[in-house]
Amino acid sequence: MKFSEDICGQEFDEGTLAVTILKYEAQLLGPPAISEADIYINQANKIEIYDGSLKIFPEAILDFRRIVLHELGHVIGLEHESDTPAIMMPSIGNLDRLQEDDIKAVENLYGGKDNCEIKTLKFGTTKNSLSPPDCTVMQLTVGSDDDSHLDIYSFSLDKLTELEFNLKSNELETVLLVADEDLNYLAADTDVTNDCNASLNTELASGNYFFIVNTWNIQMKPACDITGTYELIAGYSAFEATNLGGNISLKGGISNAIFTGGITATDGQKFGNLFKSTDSVDISATISIDSYHQGRPGFIVVAAVIDEQILLLDENGNFIDTKTRPGIIFPAIRKTLESEEEVEIIKNLVAAELGINEITVDFVVGYGLDDDPDEIFYHETPLNLTIR
């Protein structure tokens, strides 16, 4: 922003107080985005800072704040408003603060995420589809005329992580994107040259992100449509075990326990969730016990969830199908709870030796107290194992 007698050598039009020049860049989704802005304020005018009505007599004195608010509105993408009182009206007036119309305009321009359902990304396998009434690009990015459908998944990382997304479909052409919280697109797969499948690999630092499955608004090739079902396999790899999210409990009790876990085929050099059936994997978790529960008699619970089936690890190292013993919680370990509990879930698991070539399992660990055995404290995000 600068006070100037001209705009890059061109004189201000008569009555023009300021001009904002915008530079745009194309985006993967939606209309071009503003990437750069320059504000030129006509220095021929006398300008101060004040509240209330414009000062017209005995001489015209303009208010710096309302000029800048108006031009900053252009910087963030707002256009002129001629019908409703607003700072963004074409001519300066007695309004010296943002008005309801200005605020609503910003909300409409940048509130596209509120128009769409945002799901939580599940590492492992997710089956879904793109079809009406799913959200569209024009709903997510105001100003677009792209009516192609999309699914939005949110996820958070607490460390530098390698990510691998593989999408399979026999009928749907897809575009895969990773974006930050502000929908700045960080990585994408837009290839349509082969079959309907898509894949995307990227590396991200800690933070909050979106993964977007999109399609096209016109059919790109005969074999792949713009609506249909898909199967998404989401994988991660990092040099540290994974934080397993917030803690919850069966009966609503409060705990400050912290859960971490990891699956490794490299003796802890690297952790992830995608493995081959011939890999020898170790699965373990660590529970930092709530200080109020430390030193009290209790137990550790380990669950393996396969589709709708829930298996509990017993004290003999066997997984028991809960359908055969409904309502019974099998502890994997009984002990006096220490400040930190290391839980070895499975050691040296080779799925191929069990005749398993493909499987998805979500592991959950938790703990309870002997004096309240029906209350289990556990974690929100499962520890996923995907064999493929």
Q: How far apart are CA 338 and CA 219, in angstroms?
A: 59
Mean pLDDT of 195-207: 96
Strand duo 359-369 + 297-306: pairing: antiparallel
- Please say whether the beta carbons of 160 and 260 come within 8 A: no
Mind listing the pLDDT tens digit for each residue in 91-126?
Answer: 999 999 999 999 999 988 887 888 899 999 999 999
Residue 109: helix, strand or coil by DSSP? helix
Enumerate domains of the chain plus CATH numbers.
2-110 (no CATH), 114-238 (2.60.120.380), 242-387 (2.20.130)
Rounded percentage of the chain residues whose pLDDT exceeds 70: 100
Which range (60-74, 110-124, 302-316, 349-363) has the least confidence? 110-124
Mean pLDDT of 278-289: 98
- Please say whether the beta carbons of 285 and 365 come within 8 A: yes
Q: b or e along 55-81 (b: 16 or more beta carbons within 10 Å of the residue's beta carbon)? A: eeeeeeebbebbbbbbbebbbebbeeb
Neighbours of 14 (CB within 10 A): 5
Q: How far apart are CA 276 and CA 268, in angstroms?
A: 17
Q: Of 369, 355, 368, 364, whose CA–CA distance to 385 is shortest? A: 364
Mind listing the pLDDT tens digit for each residue in 119-154?
Answer: 999 999 999 999 999 999 999 987 778 899 999 999
Average pLDDT, the chain: 94
Mean pLDDT of 337-360: 97
pTM: 0.83
Q: How far apart are CA 91 and CA 335, in angstroms?
A: 75
Q: Of 10, 4, 26, 138, whose CA–CA distance to 71 is shortest? A: 4
Q: What is the pLDDT of residue 30?
A: 77
* Dihedral sign (CA 290, 292, 297, 298): negative
Categorize the per-residue pLDDT at 20 as very low, low, confident or very high, splitting at 50, 70 and 90: very high
* Dihedral sign (CA 272, 277, 279, 281): positive
Torsion angle defined by CA atoms of residues 79, 83, 87 and 91, in that order, rounded to the nearest 10 degrees: 90
